[in-house]
Amino acid sequence: MARLAAIFGCSGPRLTPEEAAFFGRHRPWGFILFQRNVEDGAQLRALVEDLRAAAGHDAPVLIDQEGGRVARLLAPRWTGWQNALEWLAGLPETARPEAMRLRYRVIGQELRALGIDVNCAPMVDVAQPQTHPAIRERCYGSDPQAVVAAGAAVVEGLLAAGVLPVLKHIPGHGRPSADSHEELPQVDTPLDELEAVDFAPFRALNHLPLGMTAHVRMTALDPDRPVTLSAKAMAHIRETIGFDGALMSDDLSMGALGGPMGARVEAAHAAGCDLSLHCNGKPAEMAAIAEAAPTLAGDALRRTDAALALRDGLTPETVPIPDLLAQLRGLEQEVRHA
């Protein structure tokens, strides 16, 4: 049966009858969870099962679990982490990829135990001095090649745990000093500099199955529209950066985008997004998306099916989390004693 080209949130820790009926009618491709959806492990596992049952298929269930500033599963019930930029700065560059692999192996196993099979990471935006804290604290560094190495390690850790990664925020959210949750950032950097710095990690990781756009207007790509709504920017992502995975918008309810929700959805898909991501669980906005979004077909269907095939083919080997954390502590101790 056809699936709606959308990823939805829900309002709380349990599905309401109205939400279950809505998801059953529209069969979204996937779901995304937030802290408002979390009480404890048993409740969260039940919610994940209920979401898939409501949609009538083995829908991907996403979460943003980076650790630090962006974490939906909090300590002490789940493992707590520092923000990536600060944490990695305390390690020598040679140790950072292994540290990130272990970090995301732990995160991935915690997610998989809950039935969550997609994590919105790695975030390979390259940090700049002016980067807004909402992004900067979560970055892996300011050198593109170091960011690539850390991002690849994140992917390795997640896949080993049986969780799909999402490459974000394509083609880069490292330059803006504005927060796209509140307003539309604009970047006027010349294209050659963007290619050499901002776009480089996305080219290196362009084989990943899923990606998320940046709500940023890059005037070198399109002086009029943010990436999410720009056919010119999307063409650059596909043809020059070379990303052929399923591409979801960043959250369409963010302040960077203006106009009615239905118009945002139509513009995103017309530009080249495969999936509309909507996070806040508000019924009226979700209804507008369900009316405006297409069902998956053509290249969008091919790409999303490829992501699901990769997910279904993963064979995770569970390693006790205390053992993984002990390896990580050992790595940190070696650094301190070096």
- Interval 95-135: pLDDT, tens: 999 999 999 999 999 999 999 999 999 999 999 999 999 99
How sure is the predictor about 9, in pLDDT bands with cuts at 50, 70 and 90? very high
pLDDT of residue 338 exceeding 60: no
- Percent of the chain residues past pLDDT 70, beyond the cut: 99
Task: Give the mean model confidence (pLDDT) for residues 160-189.
Answer: 97
pLDDT, position 322: 97
Class for domain 73-337, per CATH?
alpha beta
With 0.85 as the threshold, say if the pTM is over it.
yes
What confidence score (pLDDT) does residue 1 get?
Answer: 83
Band the pLDDT of 337: cuts 50, 70, 90: low
* Confidence grade of residue 317 (pLDDT, cut at 50, 70, 90): confident
Q: Is residue 29 over pLDDT 90?
A: yes
Residue 181 appears among annotated catalytic residues: yes
Confidence of residue 19 (pLDDT cuts 50, 70, 90): very high
Mean pLDDT for 77-103 is 95
The per-residue pLDDT for range 185-200, each reduced to its tens digit, is 999 999 999 999 999 9
The pLDDT of residue 331: 85
**What was the pLDDT predicted at 93?**
86
Which of 19-23, 148-152, 317-321 is predicted least confidently? 317-321
**Active site residue: 198, 250, 251, 274, which one?**
250
Residues 155 and 208: beta-carbon distance below 8 Å: yes
Peptide bond just before 190 cis, omega within 30 deg: no
- Residue-wise pLDDT for 270-289, tens only, equals 999 999 999 999 999 999 99
Percent of the chain with pLDDT over 90: 96
40 is catalytic: no
Q: Look up residue 126 and give its DSSP letter.
A: P
> Which amino acid, one-letter code, is at 83?
N
pLDDT of residue 335: 63
Distance of CA 65 to the CA centre of its chain: 9
Q: What's the pLDDT at 336?
A: 60
DSSP string, 28-72: EEEEEE-GGG-S-HHHHHHHHHHHHHHHTS---EEE---BTTB-S
